[in-house]
Amino acid sequence: MKSDYELSLRDYIAIIKDRALLLGVSIVVILAATVAVAVMVPPIYQSTGTILVESQQISPELVSTNSSSFADERIEVIRQRVMTRENLRRIIGQYNLFADKGKRLSEIDKIDLMRSAIAVQSLTTFVRGRGEATVAFNVSFEHKQPEVAKEVADELVTLFLNENLKQRTERANETTEFLTQEANKLGAELASLENQLADFKQTHANALPEHQTLRMNMLSRSELEFREVDRDYKAAQEELRYLELELSAANAGLATKGTEGTRATNVDQLQDLPSLKAEYIRLLSRYKEAHPDVVAVKRKIQALEANGERSMVASTVSLDVARVRAKMSAAQERIRSLAEQKRELTRKMEGYEAEILEAPQVERGLVTLMRDHDNARKKYEEIRAKEMGAKITESLEQENKAERFVLLEPPLMPEKPIKPNRKKIAALGLVLAPAGGGALVMLLEMLNQRVRGVGALENLLGKRVLVALPYIDTRADVARRKRWRNWLILAALALAAIMVVLVHVFYMPLDVLLFKLISRFA
């Protein structure tokens, strides 16, 4: 057959007629298989519990918590904790799950099947200012037996509630403990910095920046005192030079006006010797001999009597010299005192100047210590504030006043299976049956190389066919077709009976099904 020949509609009709039996059997077999699958697949029941994510009981404006995670994140963390290998192994053993599988499944396979049978679905809503937010979530479990599905779902819901409370309490306790430890560390660091600051101030007490003005004033005052002392020192030196000249004059016998006055005084004192004796007697009548006034008068009388008139004139010059030397000694002592004052003031001024020059370096070190101290103090106060907030959060969690999970709807006993969807499987069979039969017929025709029809023969030979004789059925052909028809009817009846039995056994009793159909269409 040439490749450019195309089958006509008459050829397709002829193919269908020739393969009608095969096409019918294929459609019936595929349809029966899909119906059998829809009926024989065991039902799966699902029990679902709803948990509400309830917000904090106390206004966040009054008491804020440290929890900053979203509900979806917490639900996922709790789901991972609940669906651990240990928990799933315990639930499988407690409810004897997958017992019908026997030893065909290993422990890992059972845990994988258990995880696939658990579903956690978040329920979100739109919240102004936050967008979509999770307000609740469903925890579901699937099983062939509705009682087992409900019991396992109850167990899972309980695990979710307990794990949430445990997790939030543990997180609050860990947060409080961590912040307490950090606060203690920062407190020790702050105390160390305070000690360093105190030691630094004590070491550089004379060069602290806050005393800079005082030191400048003290330096100015010391400079004024130094100038005054220096002026007195120079005046004392001038007086000493004058006394040196006066001493030279006294040694030469030149009496000054002051010397004559002194001699006259001495003469007067000698002339008053009787009066001194009278005074001595009067004092003895009032005081004892050890009295200072009595002793002084007595010494004067003895001195006057010892010297006499002869030594009075000779001692006049020596008295002038002694007087001048006494003045010179006093002047020299004053000069030494003023020189010592100048040296002391110089040391003070040098000390003040050194402290003033040292002040910038001290200020730099002090600023560094103060900055570290202030930073440590701010961190310490911040950590203490966070620690107080963590303790409040811990109290809220312990009293169950913070955000929590509340069981909104407990798992119920499922009345209908969620899968398989038998209607969809049957409807899929209605589509797959003719498609599968047609595909089988087309495959067989593609593998069959016989010439079909006049057009195909002309295309093959390249010549025109003059006469075409139709196929003449014999009695044997008619009898064979009749037998095949009878067998097909019997097979269809048997298949219908088998389907009825399968529906009664695996899907629903026939009386219940009939009652539902009557109640629906009545």
User: Tens digits of per-residue pLDDT, 270-326?
Assistant: 445 667 777 777 777 766 676 666 677 777 777 776 655 445 444 555 677 778 788
Query: Residues 167, 77: contact at Cβ < 8 Å?
Result: yes
Q: How far is CA 281 from the centre of its chain?
A: 105
Top mean-pLDDT range of 149-158, 305-314, 484-493: 149-158
Strand-pair partners of 506? none
**Can you give the pLDDT at residue 49?**
93
A 10 A CB-CB count for 181 gives: 12
CA distance 422 to 416: 12
Query: What strand order describes the sheet that includes 118-127?
Result: 118-127, 131-143, 45-54, 404-409
Q: Is the pLDDT confidence value at 84 over 60?
A: yes
Q: Residue 62 is encoded by which pair of tokens?
A: 């009054």
| Sign of the torsion angle spanned by Cα atoms 177, 178, 182, 183 | negative
Query: Residues 212, 356: contact at Cβ < 8 Å?
Result: yes
The class level of CATH for 207-366 reads mainly alpha
Q: Residue 348 is encoded by which pair of tokens?
A: 């003070």
Q: Exposure string (b/e) for 46-79, b if CB count within 10 Å is 16 or more?
A: bbbbbbebeebeeeeeebebbbeeebeebbeebb
CA distance 515 to 518: 5
CA distance 65 to 401: 11
CA distance 45 to 416: 7
User: Tens digits of per-residue pLDDT, 337-370?
Assistant: 888 988 998 888 888 787 777 777 777 888 888 8
Q: Which residues contact 445 (CB under 8 A, 6 or more apart)?
A: 15, 19
Q: Which residues contact 28 (CB under 8 A, 6 or more apart)?
A: 433, 491, 492, 495
- Residue ranges per structural domain of the chain: 9-42+420-521, 207-366
CA distance 496 to 475: 32
CA distance 117 to 123: 19
User: Tens digits of per-residue pLDDT, 185-199?
Assistant: 888 888 888 888 888
Whole-number percent of the chain with pLDDT over 90: 7
Q: Is the pLDDT confidence value at 495 over 50?
A: yes
Q: Is the pLDDT confidence value at 33 over 90?
A: no
Find where tokens 């009067």 sit.
282
pTM of the predicted structure, to 2 decimals: 0.50
| Sign of the torsion angle spanned by Cα atoms 287, 289, 294, 296 | negative
Mean pLDDT for the chain? 77
**Can you give the pLDDT at residue 156?**
92
Find where tokens 């730099």 sit.
364
